[in-house]
Amino acid sequence: MEKTLTIGLTLFLTLCVDIPGAGGRKEGAQGESTQKRSSPSSDTKGGRCSYTFIVPQQKLTGALCLNTQSASTNQSEVAALRGELRRQQEQLEKLRGQLEQEGSLAMEVRALRKESSSMNSRISQLYAQLLHEVIHKKDQALEQQRVENLLLNATTQALQVSGNYRELEKKYGALTSMMSSQNLFIARLEKQCQRRDPTQAPLVTTEPPKSQSNVPRNHSSEANEMTNDVQRDQSALPSQQEKTVLSLPTMTANTPTDSPFSSFPVTKTPGPWRDCQHVMESGETTSGIYLLRPQSANRLLQAWCEQSRAQGGWTVIQRRQDGSVNFFRNWEQYKQGFGNLDGEYWLGLEHLYWLTKQAQYKLRVALEDWQGRQVFAEYDSFHLEPESDWYRLRLGQYHGNAGDSLSWHNNKAFTTLDRDKDSYTGNCAHYQKGGWWYHMCAHSNLNGVWYRGGHYRSRYQDGVYWAEFHGGAYSLKRVSMMIKPT
């Protein structure tokens, strides 16, 4: 556009300059005639002519072009100027089109700016709303944390009260068990006193009689008199005298509710035998209490012989079935044995040592849960080391359907509450409430607390459990450990 204006201004100036030139020429012609008319005077003044050009004043900013030639019209220049003018007009149209396009783009930009502004305001509004929600949630979280702290404190207090209650309950159970055992013991003594002949001699020691010339062929009363530390928590029983002396009543068991832990009266057959397999080989196939004397052992003991399960011949060394006996005992009691032969009892580590020393024995563990399911675990070899090695356990290979929860205790010493021989920093017997061949601590403990109902809640894992059969938080209903020569 600027170039077009420049060309137009140039044309205008050219025309203006040419017109005064023509006038000048006219005036020049008149001057010539005047000169001719006044030539005498001019000649008289010196023979020279002067010309005067009158040009209108104009304010010019560009270059001034003077055309001293004749004012003839140049057609080629006009055509060029017209072509240039058309070209400039085309450029103007093109620029106008571009301007319109740019105008539409500018409108779009303005619309986008307006939309962006509205979006920014909406974002600010949402941000403020989010801050409000965050503050509200934070207040709720603080309130929830306060309530949780209150609940946690209440739960802690409840757990403390529950722990104290369980401790009291355990103490009460132990006292109840002890009182029950003492009541049974007193009742048996009363019955014995009622049935004794007035001429009978007082109680004697546990050694067998020296002479048996006056003793009848049936020595079952002798078997009843020969006691060990296991039977009914007593240290001695009345002895059998002459034929004229009344024999003491046989110590019958309170028959359990169901198998496989059946109880029978004391067997009326002579003894002693090496073990319950020897009893069976002698033709005695009735389960009950028999008098045993291991080879190379200067001691007599009584044990329950299981003759009706797994081909018979099993010497029962441990049994749990009703929680009537407390198994949280010291070393000396676990060494000598305790409990009731027709109920819950522990045969004694020293007796186990002498029994398993005379031959190669295998171990069978029978388990029963509170739904009546019965399983077993059997080990093809079993024996104990002497007391000097803390009655260390030696086990063979496992087979059965209960799962292997005893091999982890293989080669471990026996631990009680007063003899800590386990690998744990504390005393496992203290936490699990019974003596056992603890490791760190146990995958099984059949000498723990007998809980009723199966699953139990305790501060420690102290039930009668076999980890591979219901886990450590399930107290089994009935268990027994039996040994037999291979």
| Helices within 237-284 (DSSP H only) | 276-281
Please give the Cα distance from 261 to 215 (Å, whole number). 33
Please give the Cα distance from 483 to 341 (Å, whole number). 16
**pLDDT recorded at residue 48:** 77
**pLDDT recorded at residue 46:** 55
Helices 2-37 & 75-195 angle (0-180, nearest 10)? 160
**pLDDT recorded at residue 403:** 96
**Closest by Cα among 28, 98, 436, 235 to 428:** 436
Q: Where does residue 409 rank: exposed (0-12), middle (13-18), buried (19+ CB within 10 A)?
A: buried
**Closest by Cα among 396, 391, 387, 309 to 361:** 396
By three-state DSSP, how is residue 383 classified? Answer: strand
Task: Give 193-219 pLDDT, tens digit per residue.
Answer: 777 644 433 333 333 333 333 333 333
**pLDDT recorded at residue 468:** 95
Which portions of the chain are predicted below pLDDT 70?
A: 1-47, 58-73, 196-270
Please give the Cα distance from 141 to 113 (Å, whole number). 41
Please give the Cα distance from 262 to 307 (Å, whole number). 10
Instruction: Tell whether domain 220-241+249-486 is in CATH 3.40.50.150.
Output: no
Rg (CA), the chain: 63
**pLDDT recorded at residue 16:** 53
**pLDDT recorded at residue 69:** 58
**pLDDT recorded at residue 323:** 94
Instruction: Using CA atoms of 114, 120, 126, 129 in order, give the dihedral in degrees to the nearest 10.
Output: -110
**Closest by Cα among 210, 227, 214, 321 to 266:** 227
pTM, full prediction: 0.49
**pLDDT recorded at residue 348:** 96
